[in-house]
Amino acid sequence: MVTFKDFRNQVKPNWCPGCGDFSVQASIQRAAANLGLTPENLVIVSGIGCSGRISGYIYAYGFHGIHGRSLPIAQGLKMANRDLTVIASGGDGDGFAIGLGHTIHAIRRNMDITYIVMDNQVYGLTKGQTSPRSDSGFITQSTPTGSIDQPISPLEVALASGATFVAQSFSSNVKELTSLIEEGIRHKGFSFINVFSPCVTYNKVNTYQWFKTHLKKVSDIENYHPFDRQMAMKTVMETGGLITGLIYQNKNQLSYQDLLPDYSDQPLTKANLHLTTEEFHQLITEFM
Amino acid sequence: MVTFKDFRNQVKPNWCPGCGDFSVQASIQRAAANLGLTPENLVIVSGIGCSGRISGYIYAYGFHGIHGRSLPIAQGLKMANRDLTVIASGGDGDGFAIGLGHTIHAIRRNMDITYIVMDNQVYGLTKGQTSPRSDSGFITQSTPTGSIDQPISPLEVALASGATFVAQSFSSNVKELTSLIEEGIRHKGFSFINVFSPCVTYNKVNTYQWFKTHLKKVSDIENYHPFDRQMAMKTVMETGGLITGLIYQNKNQLSYQDLLPDYSDQPLTKANLHLTTEEFHQLITEFM
Amino acid sequence: MRQLSWKIGGQQGEGIESTGEIFSAGFHKLGYFLNAYRHFSSRIKGGHTNIKVRISTKPIYTINDDLDILIAFDQETIDINYRELNKNGFILVDLKGSPKKPADCPARFYPIPFTKIAMNLGNVVMKNMVAIGATCAILDLQPSMFKPIIEDMFQHKGNTIIQRNVKALQEGYEYVQREIHPLQTIPLAPPKKEQKMYLTGNEAIGLGTIAAGCRLMFAYPITPASDIMEYLIKKLPKFGGTVIQTEDEIAACTMAIGANYGGVRAFTASSGPGLSLMMESIGLAGMTETPVVIVNTQRGGPSTGLPTKQEHSDVFAMIFGNHGEIPKVVIAPSTVEEAFYDTVEAFNIAEEYQIPVILLTDLQLSLGKQTTKPFKLERTEIRRGKITEEMEGEKDEKNKSYFKRYELVPSGISNRVFPGTRGGIHHVTGVEHDETGRPVESALNRKKQMDKRMTKLQTFTIQSPFVKKIYGEHPDLLLIGFNSTRGAIEEATERLISEGYVVNHLHIRLLHPFPKEEIKPYMEAAKQIIIIEQNATGQLKNLIHMHLGFFDRTFSINKYDGTPLLPNELFHRIKGMIKTKKEET
Amino acid sequence: MRQLSWKIGGQQGEGIESTGEIFSAGFHKLGYFLNAYRHFSSRIKGGHTNIKVRISTKPIYTINDDLDILIAFDQETIDINYRELNKNGFILVDLKGSPKKPADCPARFYPIPFTKIAMNLGNVVMKNMVAIGATCAILDLQPSMFKPIIEDMFQHKGNTIIQRNVKALQEGYEYVQREIHPLQTIPLAPPKKEQKMYLTGNEAIGLGTIAAGCRLMFAYPITPASDIMEYLIKKLPKFGGTVIQTEDEIAACTMAIGANYGGVRAFTASSGPGLSLMMESIGLAGMTETPVVIVNTQRGGPSTGLPTKQEHSDVFAMIFGNHGEIPKVVIAPSTVEEAFYDTVEAFNIAEEYQIPVILLTDLQLSLGKQTTKPFKLERTEIRRGKITEEMEGEKDEKNKSYFKRYELVPSGISNRVFPGTRGGIHHVTGVEHDETGRPVESALNRKKQMDKRMTKLQTFTIQSPFVKKIYGEHPDLLLIGFNSTRGAIEEATERLISEGYVVNHLHIRLLHPFPKEEIKPYMEAAKQIIIIEQNATGQLKNLIHMHLGFFDRTFSINKYDGTPLLPNELFHRIKGMIKTKKEET
Ligand SMILES: Cc1ncc(C[n+]2csc(CCOP(=O)(O)OP(=O)(O)O)c2C)c(N)n1
Ligand SMILES: Cc1ncc(C[n+]2csc(CCOP(=O)(O)OP(=O)(O)O)c2C)c(N)n1
Ligand code: SF4
Ligand code: SF4
Ligand SMILES: [Mg+2]
Ligand SMILES: [Mg+2]
C-alpha cells in the first residue's frame, strides 16, 4: 500500500518556519497516498515564488517552470500523457497577477488537471510586495501607504470563468484540504483549489489567527449545495469569499480530453511516431 | 458647438462593408460630441485586430498599440495626463485572449478610462479563427469540427473582477450604445463596455439578425436596477449574458486617480521637471 | 516560350486568391514548374491584391521581375503593376470602369467585359473564370484543361455552380478568340512529365511536422504563420493528436515545452511579435534542456510592422533574443523542399540535443507556392536521442533515488526520461540546478552545469549547413544569402556567369551555431563577397563579421521595402557593385 | 592599515544585512571609502548569507579577494569563507555551536559568546551589535562611534531598544579587550575628511530618475531590480508622481510607453526574465518613436537562473532581442556615480532621439554599496528634444489637418507633440505608417520611414562612450570591460603596471550603438587585448569582433559562476594569459 511517506523526499524545504506552504505540501502528499497514486505517475508543475518551490519537495516528477506559466506547462504535459495525474501549483502572484490570463483560460479549457494556489496575499519570494490578493489598505514594500487596488476574488473569478470545480481551504486544516485535493484529482476536468497559506514573514494581517476567526465552512451553511452555480456565486459574494470547502462542482461538463475529436485514448507519448508509406502518400497526394 | 463631424477624419475605414465596427466608430464620435469634448483632448487607444483600426478613423489623438496591450498603454497615458478623456478599445481576442490579464487588472485598478470591446466572437483580422468568445461548437479555420472551449462571459468576468461600470450593447443600436459610452466616459472610474459588433465575413452564426432575436434590454427587465451587484450577476447568469444596457454601476468607489496619495491634481505632463537645489539636497542627504 | 509570368489583380475579397489557385493548379496538372507569390494587405476586404504566377519548363525558386500577362479587374491594378510588363506583354482588363492604358506602357491592352460576361451568367465572381478562359486563348490552350480543377474546387457547391463556372471559362476563351484580331498567341513549350508537388512553405512545414512524428501543435493565430495551424488541425487528429489554439504565444510555447517534457514531439509556430513574446520560454527550454521546435515565419518588422510583407529582420533576435545564455539551433530553409526536410531535422536536433530549435522561414517561402519534387518519407528519419525507458525504481522508502537528469557527461547530453517512467523521478527547473534538478546556487555547480549545457553544441553542425553553387575556385564574386532569396540569387548568378564573371553562391541553412570553419575557405577564395538579405541592418553580414571578419571584402545588398527581391533587380544591383575585374578569358 | 576587509556571515533572517548596514554606516560617517557586497540566496529565511565590507582611505570600486576580519555566527560561515582570510586575519566566531578552526587556516581564531551576551541583554538578535563591538576592539576604535547610527536606526523602536543595543556593542568591545591576550590590534589609517555619499547602484538610479524629472515608474517586482521601485514609491509622491506595481512586465513596459506618449518621463526596471517579456513592447517604442527608459539589472541567467548572483549575460539580448529593426541605445554604467548620471542621460537620450534606451547594470553594481562623491544637480541637465507646443489648430471642418508626427526630416527626428495639444492631432501605430501616422504598406513609404528611423542614430555617440585609463601609447595589454568589473580591472591593472607591464584599460559605457571608431585606435595600438566579462559566450568580445575584428589579438576572460570577479583573481588570470613580453626598461 502507498502511504504519504512514499511521496516524501530528502529535501529540506527552504520555507520560513511556520510558512503555510508546509501543510499544502503535506496535504498533496496525503491526498496522493489516499488515492493510491504512485510517485512516477504524479507530476507537480509549479510556478516561481516561495510556493513554486513545492515541486522540489514532493517525491514525484516535478517541473518548476517560469513565473506565471505553470498552467500552460501542465496543460501541455497533460495533452502529452493523459494517464498522468498532473497538479499545477503556485502563488497568488503567479496565478492571479502575471498568470491570470492563463488561469482563466485553463479554467475555460477544462483539462483534467488540478490547480492549487497557495494564497498568502503577498509576494513572498521577492520580499513582500502587494499581490492582486492583498487587501486594499495593505501596507507593503511597494505600497507603503497601503494598497489602493481592489483585491481579486479567486472564487468569483473562477466561477465567472465557467470553472467546473471550485474549492477553497486553509492550510491549517490539513484534513479538509487533503480531501478537497483528492476530490479535485478525482474530478474529471479542471479543479481550482485556492488555499489560504499564511506568509508568516511578510503578511502580518492575514495570519493563522485571522483566518481562524474569519473563515466559515460551506458545510456549515444551511442548505448549501455545491452543484448550484448561482448559489455558489451568491454565497461567495455575500461572504466576501471567506469560506472553505467545495464551493462548486459541475460533474456534467466533459473534460477537454473527452471532448477532443479523435484524441488518442492511449497517452500520446506512447504513440508510434512513424508514418506508414501509405499514410504519407495520402498526405502528399493532396499537393500532387 | 461641437458635433460628431468634428470627430470625423478623411480616412476611409478598411473594414468590410457591413462590419459592426462602423457603428461603434459612429457611436464614439456621437458620444464625444454630445459630451462636448474637443478632439485634442480625446485619445483613442486601440489594440491589434480589425477593431483595432478604429483609432485611425476618429479625428482625435490615436494610439494603435500592440495586440492585447491597449489597456496598459491607456492607463500609462491617463496617469500622465489625467485631464484627457481616454478611450481604450479593441477586439474580443485582443481583450479576452492575449489581453485578458490586463483587462481584469485594469478593472481592479479602476482608473478613470473607458474600455470598449468590439465583440464579434471571432478573430477577424487573422481570417476567422475562434476567439475566447466563440460559442462552443462554433466552426472556424482553427476549429473545423467546432470549438470545444467554454466561451468567456465578459459581463460575469467583469463583475467578478470588481468592475465599477459594466455595460453591454449592440452595434446596431447606435442610440443605446452612444448613451452608454457617454455614461461610461462620465463615470469616475473604469468603464467596461462590451459591444456585440458582428463580423459579417467570418461569423455567420452571431449575425445582426441573430442578435436582434436574442438580445434583451435590461431596462425591459422588471425591477432591474443597475446598482445591485448581486442582482446584476444573477441576471447575467440567467440570461447567458444576452442583455444590453447599463448592467452595473458603483458610484461610490473612488477612482485610482482619486485614491492615489499625493497624486498631482495638475496633469503630470504639465509638471516642472526640474528639482530645486534644496529638494535635491534633501534627497542626497539621506546617503551622506 | 519556356516560361511565362502571369498576374491577376483586383480588390481583396474579389476572389483573386482562388483564381490564382485554379490557374496554377491547371498548369501544375499539365506538369509545369510553378512559383507563385501573393501581394496582399492587412485587411479583409478591399485594398489591392494580386497574385503573380510564374510557369516554367524547368525548376524555379522565385517569381521574377517580368510579366507577360496582366489580368486587371480595376485601374489600380494596371497602375500598380504595368511597369513589370514586357514589351510584348498583354493587359486584359475589365471593361467596366473604362480602364485607361498608361501612356508609357508598351504592352498590348485589351479591355474585356469580364464583369458583364459573368453577370450574364448569373454571378459577378465568375469574372475570375472568364479571365482564366481569356488567358487560355492567349496561350493557345484549351480551357477545358481547367474543368477537372473546377469540379474539384466547387464539388461541395453542387453541379449547377460547376457548370456555370465552366461556361464562364469557355466564354472568356471565346470572347478573346472572337474579338481580338490579330491575336498573337504566346504558346508555352511542353513540360517534362514527372511527378511533382505544388505547395507553400507552410504546407511543407506542416507535412514535415507530421513526418517527424509531431502530434501536438500549440499556437496563436498570426500572419503569415496561421496556415500551419490551419493545415494541421485538419491532419493531426487523424494521428491521435491535435492543434490547440492558445490564449497567447507565451502559452503556446510553454505548452509545447510541457508536451515535449511529457515525451511527445510538439511545437509552435508564429511570427515576429509572437517570437518576441516567447523569449522567456525559449530560455526555459534551454535551461531545462527540454526540446522544443519553434517556427518563425518572418514578416516585415519592427513591432506590428508590415504583417503581410516579406522581410528577414529576425535573425539576431532568434539567435540572441533571450536573456542569459543557452544552447540553441537556428535553421533557415530556402526552398519548399528544404522546408519539409528541415522541419523533420529540427525535431531530431531538438530531441537529440535537448534544446530549443528555431526554424526560420520568411513570408515569401511560407506563403509562396513552389513546384517541388515529391517528398520522400525514406529520406527522413526519426532520431529521438538519449531516452531512458522503464527502470528498476528504488522502492525502499529510505533509499528513494533521484534520476540524474542533468548528469555531467562529457558530451553534455544526459539521458532524458519521461514522467510516468518507473525509476526516472527527477526535478526540472529553470533555476540553476544539480544533476538531479535540485536548485543549487553554488559557484562550482553553476560552472559545471553551464559548461555542460554549452558543450552540447560545441562541435555541432548539420549536413550541408549551407547550400553551395561553386563555379570557380577563385571567384570574382561570392554571393551569400539565406531563406527565400535563393532563387533570385541563383538566377542573378547565372546571368553574371553568362556575362563572364566567375561567381559562387552560398546559401546559409544553419544560422546558429554558425558554420564558420566550413564557410571560411569559400570566403578566403573570393575577391569580393556580397551578402544579400532583406533587412536594413545587415544581420547576416554582422554575423559573418562577428565570426569571420573579412571586413575589407564584404559588401551588402539589403532590401527592406517589404517586397521580394527579384532576379533582375538583384542582377542589376550586383553589377553596380562589382569591384573586381572579371577574369579575362 | 590603509584598507580593511571585513565580513559577517550567518543564516538569512539573522539580521546579517542590517549589521552590515550599521557597520558600514559607522565607517562612512568617519569618512572612509567603502564598498560592500552581499552574498545571499533565493530564499527568505535560512541559508548562508554574508556581507563583505571593504574600507579604505582612498576611492574603491570593488570589494576584494582578501579578508582581515571574519565574523561568523556559525560553522558554515567559517567553512565557506575562511580561505579568503589573510595570514594575520581574525575569525571572531560565536562560541555557541562549538566552532572548529579548519586545519589549514592560518588566521587567528577567537570564539566569543555573541549569543550568550546578547541573550543576557534580552534578545538574541543583538549578537550582531556584540560582534560590531568586538570588531571595534580589534580595530582599536571606540564603539561609541556607532551610537548615533544605532539611535538613528532604532529610533522608531524606542529608547529602551536603543540603550540595549548600545550596551551590546559595549559588551562585545569589552569582552575582547578583557579576554583576548595579547590582542594585536589592526588600527586603520585616518580617513580624508570630505563629503561623501554611500549608496547602492539601485539607489543611485532611483535618484537619477528623480533628477531627470521622471515622475512615473511602472514595474513588477524582481530581484535585483525591486529596490528601485521600493525606493521610488517613497519619493515620487512628493513630486506628484508615483510607482505603479503592475500585473506583469509587459504591462509595466507598455504603461511606461503610454505615459511617455502622454508627455511624462516614465520608466520601468526589471531583470532578465522581465526584459525577455518586454521585447515586443520595446519594438513598439522603437516603431512608434516613443521614448522609454528601461533599466535591466542583470543577474545570473538563463531563465530563472541564479536570481541573486552576478552576471553579464544579457548584452546581446538588450541590443538585438526584439524582432525587427529599431534604433535603440544601450548604456552600461560601471560605478554608482555613473549609474546616477547615466540615468539622467538615459532620459535625455530617450526623449531627444525618441527611442527606447536601456540602462544596463548588473547585480553587483545595483545591490552593492559604494562610497562616491556627492552627486551634483548642476552636472545634470534636462533635454527633452523636439516638442511642439500649442499650435493654431485647423478648426474648419473641411480642413482638419493631421500633425506630421513622423515628418521625413533629414535628421530623422521629427517633432513630438503630446495629446491634449491643439493642432497636434496625429496617429501613432506600430504598423508601418506615413508621416501623420496612418498605416501604409507601400514599398516606397516603407523605405523612407525605415531610413528615417535608422538615421536617427547614424552618428550617435555620448560623451565618453568608454572610460579610459591610458598608461602607454603602445601597451602590452589592453583590458576591456563593462559594468561593475571596473574596480577589479583597475586594481589588476595597477598591479600589472607595478610589475612592469604597460597596460591600458577601456571600460565601455555605450554598448549600442557601439563606439567602434573611437575604440579602434586603442585596439590597434595594443599588442594584446583581453576582454573581460561575466558570461560564458563572450558577448562583448563578439560585439567587438562584429564591429572591428581584431581576431588575432583578442582574448577572453569569462566568469560565469555567479560570484563577482575580484582584483587578485583577475590579476592572476591575466598574468596567465600574457603573450607579449613586457617592455624592457
Ligand atoms: C517574469 C518574472 N517576473 C518577476 C519575477 C520575480 N518573482 C519571483 S516570485 C514572484 C512573486 C512571488 O509571489 P507569489 O506568486 O504570490 O508567490 P509566493 O512567493 O508568495 O509564494 C516574483 C514577482 C520572476 N521570477 N519572473
Ligand atoms: C503578439 C501578436 N500575436 C498575434 C497577432 C496576430 N493578430 C492580429 S489581430 C489578432 C486577433 C484579432 O481578433 P480580435 O482581437 O477579436 O479582433 P477583430 O479582428 O476580430 O476585430 C491576432 C491574433 C499579433 N498582431 N500580435
Ligand atoms: S516569505 Fe512567506 S511565503 Fe515565503 S517561505 Fe517565508 S513565510 Fe513562506
Ligand atoms: S473581417 Fe469581420 S471584423 Fe474584420 S472588417 Fe470584415 S466584417 Fe469587420
Ligand atoms: Mg504569494
Ligand atoms: Mg474579434
pLDDT confidence of residue D585: 47
Cell 481551504 belongs to which residue?
A169
Q: Which residues line ligand 1 (CB under 6 A)?
A: A 48-51, 67, 90-94, 118, 120, 122-126, 131; D 220-222, 249, 273-274, 277, 304
Which of A88-97 are b and which e, b meaning 16 or more Cβ less than 10 Å from the residue's Cβ? bbbbbbbbbb
N-terminal to C-terminal alpha carbon distance within chain C = 32
User: Atom of ligand 1 at shortest distance to CA of A125?
Assistant: 19
pLDDT confidence of residue C429: 98
Instruction: Tell which one of D44, D222, D228, D245 to mutate to probe ligand 1, the residue whose CB is within 8 A of the most ligand atoms.
Output: D222
Which distant-in-sequence residues (6+ apart) come within 8 Å of C571 by Cβ?
A: C491, C492, C495, C496
| d(CA D215, nearest CA chain B) in Å | 8
Cβ distance C301 to D280 less than 8 Å, yes or no, reads no
| d(CA C437, nearest CA chain A) in Å | 9
Q: Which residues of D touch A69 (CB under 8 A)?
A: none
Nearest residue (by CA) to ligand 4, atom 6, is B16
| d(CA A132, nearest CA chain D) in Å | 8
Q: Where are the alpha helices (DSSP H) in A161-245?
A: 174-186, 208-214, 229-239
The C-alpha cell of D38 is what? 552581499
pLDDT confidence of residue D395: 53
The answer to whether the CB of C53 falls within 8 A of the CB of C34 is yes
The finding on whether A129 has its CB within 6 A of some atom of ligand 3 is no
Integer Cα distance of C439 and A11 in angstroms? 11
Q: Which residues of B touch C273 (CB under 8 A)?
A: 66-67
pTM of the model: 0.98
Instruction: Tell which one of D40, D42, D44, D223 to mutate to probe ligand 3, the residue whose CB is within 8 A of the most ligand atoms.
Output: D44
pLDDT confidence of D65, banded at 50, 70, 90? very high
User: Atom of ligand 1 at shortest distance to CA of A123?
Assistant: 13
D279-310 tens-digit pLDDT: 999 999 999 999 999 999 999 999 999 999 99
Integer Cα distance of D274 and D281 in angstroms? 11
CB pairs under 8 A between C and D: 223
Q: Nearest 5°: CA angle at A198, between A193 and A204?
A: 145
H-helix or E-strand spanning residue C179: helix C159-179
Partners of residue D358 on adjacent β-strands: D294, D330
What mean pLDDT is predicted for residues D136-145?
Answer: 94
Nearest residue (by CA) to ligand 3, atom 1, is A124
pLDDT confidence of residue C585: 47
The answer to whether the CB of B136 falls within 8 A of the CB of B220 is no
Contact with chain A for residue D561, Cβ under 8 A: no
| d(CA C411, nearest CA chain D) in Å | 17
Strands D510-512 and D528-533: unpaired
Interface-testing mutation among A268, A274, A279, with chain C (most C C-beta atoms within 10 A): A268
What mean pLDDT is predicted for residues A139-157?
Answer: 95
Interface-testing mutation among B126, B134, B136, B157, with chain C (most C C-beta atoms within 10 A): B126
Q: Which residues of D touch C536 (CB under 8 A)?
A: 325, 450-451, 454
pLDDT confidence of residue D398: 54
Q: Is the dihedral of CA D133, D139, D141, D145 positive or negative?
A: negative
Q: Give the ligand with the smallest distance to the CA of A203.
A: 3
The finding on whether B124 has its CB within 6 A of some atom of ligand 4 is yes
Contact with chain C for residue B97, Cβ under 8 A: yes
Out of B66, B98, B129, whose CB is closest to C247? B98
Around ion ligand 5, residues with a beta carbon closer than 5 Å are A 91-92, 120
- Could you tell me what percentage of chain A is helix, strand and coil, using 3-state DSSP and rounding each to the nearest 5? 40, 15, 45
A202-238 tens-digit pLDDT: 999 999 999 999 999 999 999 999 999 999 999 999 9
Interface-testing mutation among B129, B150, B203, with chain C (most C C-beta atoms within 10 A): B129
D316-339 tens-digit pLDDT: 999 999 999 999 999 999 999 999
- Could you tell me what percentage of chain D is helix, strand and coil, using 3-state DSSP and rounding each to the nearest 5? 40, 20, 40
Which distant-in-sequence residues (6+ apart) come within 8 Å of C442 by Cβ?
A: none
Q: How far is the CA of D507 from the centre of ligand 5 (A)?
A: 41
What mean pLDDT is predicted for residues D225-249?
Answer: 97
Q: How far is the CA of D362 from the centre of ligand 5 (A)?
A: 26
C479-513 tens-digit pLDDT: 999 999 999 999 999 999 999 999 999 999 999 99
Contact with chain C for residue D561, Cβ under 8 A: yes
pLDDT confidence of D273, banded at 50, 70, 90? very high
The C-alpha cell of C360 is what? 526560420
Torsion, Cα C526 C529 C531 C532, to 10 degrees, reads -90
Integer Cα distance of C291 and C351 in angstroms? 5
Looking at this protein, which amino acid is placed at residue D233? I
Cα–Cα distances in Å, from D373 out to C58, D197, D239, D364, D376?
74, 6, 25, 19, 9
Looking at this protein, which amino acid is placed at residue D474? H
CB pairs under 8 A between B and C: 64
Cβ distance D233 to A17 less than 8 Å, yes or no, reads no
D304 closest CA partner among C293, A46, C406:
A46
Cβ distance B16 to C229 less than 8 Å, yes or no, reads no
Q: Give the ligand with the smallest distance to the CA of A20.
A: 3
- What number of CA atoms fall less than 13 Å from residue B164's CA on the CB side? 27
What mean pLDDT is predicted for residues B119-130?
Answer: 97
Residue D217 predicted with pLDDT over 80: yes
pLDDT confidence of residue A28: 98
D110 closest CA partner among D83, D134, D84, D132:
D134
Integer Cα distance of C563 and C485 in angstroms? 11
Nearest residue (by CA) to ligand 4, atom 8, is B19
Integer Cα distance of B203 and C322 in angstroms? 38
DSSP structure string for C391-404: -----SGGG-----
pLDDT confidence of residue D399: 62
Residue A288 predicted with pLDDT over 90: yes
What 3-state class would DSSP assign to D27?
A: helix
Preceding omega of B144 cis (within 30 degrees of 0): no
List chains touching C (3+ CB pairs under 8 A).
Answer: A, B, D
Q: Which residues 311-350 in chain C show a CB within 8 A of chain D?
A: 311, 313-314, 316-317, 319-326
Q: Give the ligand with the smallest distance to the CA of A23.
A: 3
Contacts 24+ apart (CB under 8 A), C178-183: C179/C112, C180/C110, C180/C137, C183/C137, C183/C138
The answer to whether the CB of A268 falls within 8 A of the CB of C240 is yes
pLDDT confidence of residue D394: 52
| ipTM here | 0.98
Q: Which residues 289-308 in chain C show a CB within 8 A of chain A?
A: none
Cβ distance B273 to D265 less than 8 Å, yes or no, reads yes
Q: Which residues of B touch D384 (CB under 8 A)?
A: 273
The answer to whether the CB of C146 falls within 8 A of the CB of C126 is no
What chain D residue is nearest to B43 in terms of C-alpha separation? D419
pLDDT by 10s per residue, chain C, length 585: 789 999 999 999 889 998 999 999 999 999 999 999 999 988 889 899 999 999 999 999 999 999 999 999 999 999 999 999 999 999 999 999 899 999 999 999 999 999 999 999 999 999 999 999 999 999 999 999 999 999 988 888 999 999 999 999 999 999 999 999 899 999 999 998 899 999 999 999 999 999 999 999 999 999 999 999 999 999 999 999 999 999 999 999 999 999 999 999 999 999 999 999 999 999 999 999 999 999 999 999 999 999 999 999 999 999 999 999 999 999 999 999 999 999 999 999 999 999 999 999 999 999 999 999 999 999 999 999 999 987 765 555 556 789 999 999 999 999 999 999 999 999 999 999 999 999 999 999 999 999 999 999 999 999 999 999 999 999 999 999 999 999 999 999 999 999 999 999 999 999 999 999 999 999 999 999 999 999 999 999 999 999 999 999 999 999 999 999 999 999 999 999 998 665 544
- What number of CA atoms fall less than 13 Å from residue A30's CA on the CB side? 16
Cβ distance B127 to C44 less than 8 Å, yes or no, reads yes
Looking at this protein, which amino acid is placed at residue C584? E
Partners of residue C405 on adjacent β-strands: none
- What is the number of H-type helices and E-type strands within chain B? 10, 8
What mean pLDDT is predicted for residues D32-49?
Answer: 93
The answer to whether the CB of C217 falls within 8 A of the CB of C243 is yes
The three-state (H, E, C) secondary structure of A4-65, written as one string: HHHHECCCCCCCCCCCCHHHHHHHHHHHHHHCCCCHHHEEEEECCCCHHHHHHCECCEEEEC
Integer Cα distance of A68 and A48 in angstroms? 7
Residue A93 predicted with pLDDT over 70: yes
Residue D580 predicted with pLDDT over 70: no
Looking at this protein, which amino acid is placed at residue A183? E
Contact with chain C for residue D303, Cβ under 8 A: yes
Cβ distance C441 to D277 less than 8 Å, yes or no, reads no
The C-alpha cell of A85 is what? 495525474
Q: How far is the CA of C223 from the centre of ligand 2 (A)?
A: 9
